[in-house]
Amino acid sequence: MQPSKRIAFLAGEAEVAQKALVTLTAAYGSVPLDRAEVIVALGGDGFMLHTLHGMQALGLPVYGMNCGTIGFLMNEYAEEGLAERLAAAEEEVINPLAMRAVTADGTLHRALAINEVSLLRAGPQAAKLKVTIDGKVRMEELICDGALVSTPAGSTAYNYSAHGPILPIGAEVLALTPMAAFRPRRWRGAILPKTAHVRFDALEADKRPVMADADGRSVRNVVSVEIRSEASIRHRILFDPGHGLEERLTSEQFV
């Protein structure tokens, strides 16, 4: 039998997550983050993203237990058998997207996104975007409510709601998906290599203001946004056997 791992428990603010924190800490103990071998995050997908972003410098694997409403990145919550589940867990490694956004006053904003980077209209008129991939203009004018670039891990989130494709984890691709495209009206987006460098330029930005968002961190009045996969950062997520991201991405397409 493998020895139990040293666990650092983290929990979201919701009452159910806080109660789970008390129960599991009493049952398994909790060590400081600098002594931990694994982090157990208690909450929903939002708290999981918060944990991955906040703890990325530690390089520790994170095992989520669902105490929220949405748990695509989480495992089922149970009080019993946690040590055995951690020992048997399968690891998925994902790379975030790096966003580089420039606002109308010339300020540069940087952020990382595990799910997606999205551009959204910030006024009553549709956004007008120029789309450049790897230095080549692919679309001179995309008129839409917005557009996003999604990782495979985030492809079942906002991307899926915008009718983008579900991407297998090992596919080494990104999804570029428009939201409510007006012109070209029938353009449904593109699947790009993971190495692609994507740039959006906001055209007529004064008349058609645009905001950018990276996993909930928003920047208003952007004039250009560059997006690429950040291979130097590796997020390690643990899943119960047979319930990893690959299985979830596949099963989501048959419901």
Spacing of C-alpha 217 from chain mean position: 12
Question: Which helix H or strand E contains 24, and what residues bound it?
Answer: helix 15-28
Residue in 34, 45, 145, 213 annotated catalytic: 45
21-54 as b/e: b if 16+ CB within 10 A: beebeeebebeeeeebebbbbbbbbebbbbbbbe
For residue 164, the 8-state DSSP code is P
Report in angstroms the alpha-carbon separations of 115 from 70, 212, 241.
Answer: 14, 14, 23
Q: State yes or no: is 213 an active-site residue.
A: no
Cis? peptide before 184, omega within 30° of 0: yes
Q: What angle do CA 69, 43, 29 make, to 5 degrees?
A: 150
Catalytic residue IDs: 45
